[in-house]
């Protein structure tokens, strides 16, 4: 029981990172854009988020306040992600380039930029970039009141997390409501399913695709920032961040493109990724745990295509560009 609680709690920590990546990519893919640049976007988010908090602290010194640093880090990461996916959007939507290739190019570009900014900060600050303990604590602090955290079992599972986790949950719920309860959400889904039909119905497909992809990229980037300021301990760590973006792409499939599923899905994926440290199964080598998320995703992918039920499919136009004059 105790083991399960620690596993879930640790799963939530890493899962929060994935949840942002996944939610952003869900929003993007709902518009029919398959942005494979999430890996690069999350790198950029991580590097710029850290830079935001770091230079803020450098500017104001010991007076730096935790909440302000959090907001600045969030903003920096979000803007970096928006900028990265704006490149992707401009190329795929306006210049009609192939989505897969552009996404992979963005991955290369983004990991390069993230790594460059991380390295550059390290070099220009003389070897080591880290925030003060005061700010580190405010990033990693649990925000729920103590008496809630004190409840056995439920306390640690539900109430012991950072502000980022609860924000992600709220975001997931908001996105769910947006997709299912608003007209604009319906239009967005229509654009992802069939741009030609939406275009004929008078929906501005270009605008929906641009907005969804850019905002989605911004959300994904926050995930990278959250990784750096929580798991990595406010130090630029590109090794830990590598592969997280691809995992987020996998998670989108696992959640069958539904934001609410991302909440528990990301916790499961997070737990799977750290399980090898904590649980040993006699019949399975620990190294193979790490491929579990991908194997599970493949199985989900196969089953959804075999059963072919309409509500569990990828957006129909996913990965295909829409040109009005080329039908």
Q: Which residues contact 27 (CB under 8 A, 6 or more apart)?
A: 175, 212, 215, 216, 219
By the rule CB under 8 A, 182 interacts with other proteins? no
By the rule CB under 8 A, 110 interacts with other proteins? yes
> Between 167 and 248, whose beta carbon lies closer to other proteins?
248
By the rule CB under 8 A, 277 interacts with other proteins? no
Considering only 306, 310, 311, 327, the residue that binds other proteins (CB under 8 A) is: 306
> Between 164 and 254, whose beta carbon lies closer to other proteins?
254
H, E, C per residue of 276-323 = HHHCCCCCCCHHHHHHHHHHHHHHHHHHHHHHCCHHHCCCCCCCCCCC
Task: Report in angstroms how near the CB of residue 270 gets to other proteins at its nearest.
Answer: 16
**Number of H helices and number of E strands within the chain?**
15, 0
Give the integer Cα–Cα distance in Å for 126 and 216.
35
Give the integer Cα–Cα distance in Å for 33 and 22.
14
Considering only 4, 60, 101, 196, the residue that binds other proteins (CB under 8 A) is: 101
Give the integer Cα–Cα distance in Å for 28 and 91.
15
Q: What is the maximum alpha-carbon separation in the chain? A: 62
Per-residue contact track with other proteins, 119 to 158, x per CB under 8 A? xx--x-----------------------------------
> Between 64 and 93, whose beta carbon lies closer to other proteins?
93
> Between 171 and 273, whose beta carbon lies closer to other proteins?
273
By the rule CB under 8 A, 298 interacts with other proteins? yes
> What are the Cα distances from residue 169, in Å, to 181, 226, 320?
18, 14, 30
Q: Which residues contact 130 (CB under 8 A, 6 or more apart)?
A: 136, 233, 234, 235
By the rule CB under 8 A, 108 interacts with other proteins? yes
Per-residue contact track with other proteins, 55 to 94, x per CB under 8 A? --------------------------------x---x---
Give the integer Cα–Cα distance in Å for 301 and 249.
12
Considering only 132, 166, 301, 312, the residue that binds other proteins (CB under 8 A) is: 301
By the rule CB under 8 A, 309 interacts with other proteins? no
By the rule CB under 8 A, 18 interacts with other proteins? no
3-state secondary structure of 61: helix
By the rule CB under 8 A, 33 interacts with other proteins? no
By the rule CB under 8 A, 203 interacts with other proteins? no
Give the integer Cα–Cα distance in Å for 123 and 289.
36
By the rule CB under 8 A, 106 interacts with other proteins? yes
By the rule CB under 8 A, 297 interacts with other proteins? yes
By the rule CB under 8 A, 53 interacts with other proteins? no
Task: Report in angstroms how near the CB of residue 115 gets to other proteins at its nearest.
Answer: 4
Task: Report in angstroms how near the CB of residue 294 gets to other proteins at its nearest.
Answer: 4
Taking Cα atoms as reference points, which of 65, 61, 317 lies closest to residue 188? 317
What burial class does residue 94 get, using C-beta atoms within 10 Å of its C-beta: 0-12 exposed, 13-18 middle, 19+ buried? exposed
Residue 32: φ, ψ to 5°? 90, 0
Size of the site for other proteins (CB under 8 A): 50
Could you list the residues that contact other proteins (CB under 8 A)? 34, 36, 40, 87, 91, 95-98, 100-102, 104-113, 115-116, 119-120, 123, 243, 246, 249-250, 253, 285, 287-288, 290-291, 294-295, 297-298, 301-302, 305-306, 308, 314, 318-319, 325
């Amino acid at each position: 029981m105790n083991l399960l609680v620690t596993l879930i709690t640790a799963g939530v920590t890493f899962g929060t990172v994935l949840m942002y990546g996944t939610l952003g990519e869900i929003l993007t893919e709902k518009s029919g854009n398959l942005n494979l640049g999430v890996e690069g976007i999350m790198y950029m988010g991580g590097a710029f988020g850290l830079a935001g908090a770091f230079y803020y602290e450098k500017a104001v010194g010991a007076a730096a306040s935790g909440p302000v640093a959090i907001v600045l880090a969030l903003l920096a990461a979000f803007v970096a992600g928006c900028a990265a996916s704006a490149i992707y959007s401009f190329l795929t939507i306006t210049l009609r380039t192939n989505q897969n290739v552009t996404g992979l190019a963005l991955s290369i570009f983004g990991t390069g930029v993230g790594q460059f900014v991380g390295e550059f900060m390290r070099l220009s600050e003389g070897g080591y970039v880290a925030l003060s303990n005061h700010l580190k604590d405010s990033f990693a602090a649990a925000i729920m009141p103590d008496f809630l955290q004190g409840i056995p079992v439920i306390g640690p599972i539900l109430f012991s997390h950072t502000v980022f986790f609860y924000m992600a949950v709220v975001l997931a719920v908001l996105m769910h409501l947006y997709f299912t309860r608003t007209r604009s959400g319906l239009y967005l889904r229509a654009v992802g399913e069939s741009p030609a039909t939406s275009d004929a119905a008078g929906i501005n497909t270009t605008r929906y695709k641009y907005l969804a992809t850019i905002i989605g990229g911004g959300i994904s980037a926050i995930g990278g920032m959250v990784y750096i300021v929580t798991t990595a301990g406010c130090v630029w760590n590109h090794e830990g961040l590598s592969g997280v973006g691809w995992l987020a792409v996998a998670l989108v499939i696992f959640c069958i493109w539904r934001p609410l599923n991302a909440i528990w899905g990301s916790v499961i994926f997070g737990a799977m990724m750290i399980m090898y440290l904590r649980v040993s199964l006699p019949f399975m080598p620990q190294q193979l745990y790490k491929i579990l998320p991908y194997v599970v995703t493949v199985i989900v992918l196969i089953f959804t295509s075999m059963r072919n039920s309409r509500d569990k499919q990828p957006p129909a136009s996913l990965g295909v560009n829409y040109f009005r004059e080329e039908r």
